[in-house]
Structure 1
Amino acid sequence: MNGYYYKNKSGVWWLVFIAAIIGAFIGGVVTSYIAPQYLYGKVLPYPPDMQAPAKSYTKVIIPETVKATVTTAVAEKVMPAVVGIVTVDVTTDFFFRTRQVEGTGSGFIIDPNGYIVTNNHVASKTSRKVTVYLADGRTLPARVLWADPSLDLSIIKINATDLPTVELGDSDKVVVGQQAIAIGNPLGLRFERSVTSGIISAVNRSIMVKEDSRNSILENLLQTDASINPGNSGGPLLDAQGRVVGINSAKVSSAEGLGFAIPINIVKPVAQKILKTGSFKPAYMGIVAYDREIAGYFDENVKLTKGVYIADIDKSGPSYKAGLRPGDVILSIDGKPVNTMLKLKEILFAKNPGDVVTVKTDKKTVEVKLQ
C-alpha cells in the first residue's frame, strides 16, 4: 500500500510541474504582449520610448512648391496651441497595495495665461500630479481648476504667459458632411501633435462609457471619421477655418472611423467664468431630465419631438417650488429653445446662483430662482 501511494504521489508532482511550466509560458505571453496592448495608459504606464516627447515643436512650413490645403493651413494655425498632458494617479491593486498609474492625453490652450481645456478622464480632481508639455519644449506643472465627470471635461492651468491659443468655434452650427480635423497625441507623447482629417459623420450622438467602474452616458456628441486613438483625448476637433468645434473624447474600438467629440459650446460659459473669477460654481435647478435621445431608454412611453423631459425633481429645490413637476417637458429657458440636455446645461452654466430664469414647458411658464 505504501509503495502504491508513493508512486502515485510522484505522478501528481510531475503533473504539477508540467502545469507550472505551461502556466508560466502563458503568463509570460500575457504579460509581455497581450496585457500591454489593452492596459497601456489605463493601468500600465506607456513604455519610455512612447512617453518621450520631442524636444520642441517643429513649426509647419509649407514649401513654395507644395500647394497648401485646408488641412495644412489648419495644422499650421493650431499646432502651437495643442499640448501633451501626463498625469499620475494612485490606485489600489487586488492585494490592497497602492501604486502610481501614469496616463497621457491632449489638451489645447484657450487663453495666453495658461488656461487649458481637456477631458476629465485625462486630468481630474483626483489626479495627484499633472504635467503639461508645450510646443516650445517647456514642461510645466498644472493644477485642475474645474472638472465635471458627467461631461468628461476639465480645465487646468499652468503658470505661463504669452502662450499661443486656439480660436473657439460654434458647435451649434456644425453640419453633417463638413470637414473635421483632429490634432492630438495618439498612443503617448512620442507621436505628439498628430493630425488626422475626415468629416462630421453625425451630430447629437449619445454613447455609454465606463469611467471609474461606473457606466455613464455622454450626450449630444459630434461623430467623426477623423482618426481618434487613445492619447487623442482632450485634443481639439477643428473646422475648415481652424476653429475648435469639439473636444475629442472617445472612439468605438470595435469599429473603424467612429470617433466622438464633445461640442465646444458646453465649455464656453465655464471657461468665461473661470477666466473672469478664477473659479466656477454651477447654478442649481433641481431636476433630473432627459432629451429625446435618452428619454426612451428610461421610459418607452415617453415620445419626445422637442424639449427635455423632467423625469425626477428635488422637492426641496427651486424648480419644484416654482411649480415644475415630473412629466413636464421644458421647451425653452429665457426664450432660448432647449432640445438637448447639453443645451440646457450650457444655458445654466452661463447663470449664477440667485439668478431668476423663465422656464416654458408644454403646460406652463414659470419663474425659477436658481440656487
Structure 2
Amino acid sequence: MDLNATQRLKPWKSFSNSRVWWWRFVGGALAMIAIAFAGSLWTLYMLSATSGGAALREKLGINNINGINIQSTRTDKIIVEESSAVIEANKKVGPAVVSILSTAQGPINPFTGQASTQQSSGTGFIITTDGLIATNKHVVKGGQSFTVTTAEGKTFDGKVVATDPTNDLALMKVDARGLPVADLGDSDRVEVGQYVIAIGNALGEFQNTVTLGVISAENRTVSAGDGSGNSEMLDGLLQTDAAINPGNSGGPLLNLAGQVIGMNTAVTGNAQGIGFALPINDLKRDLESYNKTGKILQSYIGARVQSITK
C-alpha cells in the first residue's frame, strides 16, 4: 500500500517539478523576447534618426522602415528645398530685371527715300532705386533710343551714361524713383557645380524667363561676335549650362540666395548648354569708378622696352 501510494504520489510530485521548470522557461523566454524587441526598436531608431544610420542603411541596402521610403522622402525634401530656393530667388530679383529695346535708324531705302528702323532687344537689371541699370555694351551699341520695360510693365526712356572701354559692360539711366534693385553678390566665391539661375528677355519677347543650371567652369576666355562681323575677346568668364537665349544678354545670373553673381553675355552657336557670364565683380569695379568720376575708367600699365648697350 505504501508502495502503491508512493507510486501514485510520484506523478503528482513529478508534475509539480515540471510546473516550476515550465514557468522558469516561460519567464526566460519572455525576457529574451523583451530584450530582442527593445533591441529592434533601438536598431530602427539608429537606422532612421541618426547620421550613422544613413551609412548603415546604405551598407545593408535598407531604404524602407515601417512602410516609409527614407531615401525617397529625403530626396523629395532636397528637391522641394531647391525648388523653393529658385522660387524665392526669382521673387527677390525678378522685379529688378528689365527688358531693353534698342532702336536705330537704318539705311535709306533707295526706292522710297525713307530710312528703315532697326530694333534689337536685350536685358538689364536695376542697381539703384533712382534708375541706374546694368547691361551688356553690345545690347546698347549702335542704338539711338532705348525703351526700358520693368517687370511690372512700366516703360521708361533709357539713356546710356557709361560704357566699359575694355569689357562688355554698360550703364543706363532712367528717370524714376523707388525702383526695386538687385542684390549684387561676390563672384570670387562662386564654385564649380553650384546651382545658378538665369533671368532674361528670351528671344526679345518672353520677358523675365527663368532658367536653372550650374556653374560648369570658371575663368573662361572666348571670342564673342556681335553678329555684324565684329568680335571681342572676353576673359575671366563664368561658364554655365543654364539656358541663355538671344535677348538674355545683360540679364542677371543668380545664386540660390538671390544674389547676382554674373551678367549673361554669350552662348556658343554650335552647341547647347554652354553659356557665359561676366563675373559680377567686374561690374562692381566699374560702378566704383562711375560713382567717383562719372565714367568707367580702366587702369593699365604702359611700358616701353628699349635695348641698352654698354
> With structure 1 as the length reference, what TM-score do the two structures score?
0.56
Aligned partner of 1:145 in structure 2 is 161
Of 232, 246, 249 in structure 2, the residue corresponding to residue 230 of structure 1 is 246
C-alpha RMSD of matched pairs (Å): 2.3
What amino acid does structure 1 have at the position aligned with 2:283? V
Q: Contact (CA 8 Å) 1:207, 1:218: kept in 2 or not?
A: yes
Of 194, 210, 215 in structure 2, the residue corresponding to residue 195 of structure 1 is 210
Q: Secondary structure at the match of 2:140?
A: coil
In the TM superposition, what whole-angstrom CA distance separates every residue of 1:268-319 from its partner, at most 9, and x where no partner exists?
1221232455333434533xxxxxxxxxxxxxxxxxxxxxxxxxxxxxxxx4
Q: Contact (CA 8 Å) 1:150, 1:216: kept in 2 or not?
A: no
Superposition pairs of residues 1-371 of structure 1, within 5 angstroms = 69-92=84-107, 98-124=115-141, 126-148=142-164, 150-189=166-205, 191-211=206-226, 212-286=228-302, 319-320=303-304, 325=305
- TM-superposed CA distance for 1:91, in Å, is 3.8
Where in structure 2 are there 5+ consecutive unaligned residues? 1-79
In the TM superposition, what whole-angstrom CA distance separates every residue of 1:52-73 from its partner, at most 9, and x where no partner exists?
xxxxxxxxxxxxxx87611111
- TM-superposed CA distance for 1:148, in Å, is 3.0
Q: Contact (CA 8 Å) 1:120, 1:149: kept in 2 or not?
A: no
What amino acid does structure 2 have at the position aligned with 1:207? V
Q: Secondary structure at the match of 2:196?
A: strand
What amino acid does structure 2 have at the position aligned with 1:223? Q
CA distance in 2, matches of 1:166, 1:148: 20
Q: Using a 3 Å threshold, how does the CA distance of structure 1 residues 137 and 205 change in structure 2: closer, same or farther?
A: same
How many pairs are equivalent? 223
What amino acid does structure 2 have at the position aligned with 1:115? L
Kindly name which structure, 1 or 2, has the bigger radius of gyration based on alpha carbons. Answer: 2
- TM-superposed CA distance for 1:239, in Å, is 0.7
- TM-superposed CA distance for 1:137, in Å, is 2.0
Q: Contact (CA 8 Å) 1:121, 1:149: kept in 2 or not?
A: no
- TM-superposed CA distance for 1:210, in Å, is 1.9
Q: Contact (CA 8 Å) 2:109, 2:116: kept in 1 or not?
A: no
Q: Contact (CA 8 Å) 2:163, 2:296: kept in 1 or not?
A: no
Which structure has more relative contact order (CA 8 Å, sep 6+)? It is: 2
- TM-superposed CA distance for 1:155, in Å, is 0.6
Larger helix percent: 2
